[in-house]
Amino acid sequence: LDPTLPNSLFKNFGTKLKDFRITGGYFRKSTIGDQVFNFTPNIEFLRIRSNRRITGNLPNIGGCSRLYYLDLHNNNFTGNAYSLSSNEALQTVYLHNNRLSGTIPAYDNLPNLRRLRVNSNNFTGLGKFTLPRIYEFRAHINAIAGTIPTFVDCPQMQYITLYSNRLSSYTPGAIAQNS
């Protein structure tokens, strides 16, 4: 498949790009170049939604250090979610409604993260979160197994959805420690 967004797309003007949004059901089935955002170091807002027509791995956004809003939901991305270790400005991460798998990274390197939606994927595990600003975590409709996390190191947490997983136990009073 030819990529809808080839690696060279932003080569001549990418350093000026701050906001890129492309949504809708008009895509033909295709991929995104894994290095398409290498030329966009100043991008702050990124939204790509394709009604499940874009496939392949998540694009590399490691060089987008100013990115605060990442919305790649409702695509057909596969593979593991990466740690986003170079993206400390991120406040919102929407990766839901894809086919991502493995363990949801802890994202402890994202001190400004407020919203994380990874629901409706194929995740099987969950890292321990230490996120001082997060208040929304959605991970329902996955295959996460084990103990329900405590979120004790997430003092701002208000919204947690974990239904339709394979969670088997809970430490009584653990979530109440956040109140």
Say if CB 55 and CB 81 are below 8 A apart: no
Amino acid at site 141: I
- pTM for the full model? 0.93
Instruction: Please state, in angstroms and rounded to a whole number, the distance separating the CA atoms of residues 115 and 46.
Output: 15
The dihedral over CA atoms of 121, 68, 37, 84, expressed in degrees to the nearest 10, equals -50
| Tens-digit pLDDT string for the chain (179 aa) | 566 788 898 988 878 999 999 887 666 788 888 899 999 999 999 999 888 888 899 999 999 999 999 999 999 999 999 888 889 999 999 999 999 999 999 898 899 999 999 999 999 999 888 999 999 999 999 999 998 888 889 999 999 999 999 998 887 766 656 65
Whole-number Cα distances in Å, 29 to 46, 90, 143: 20, 29, 26
Element (H, E) at 56: strand 54-56
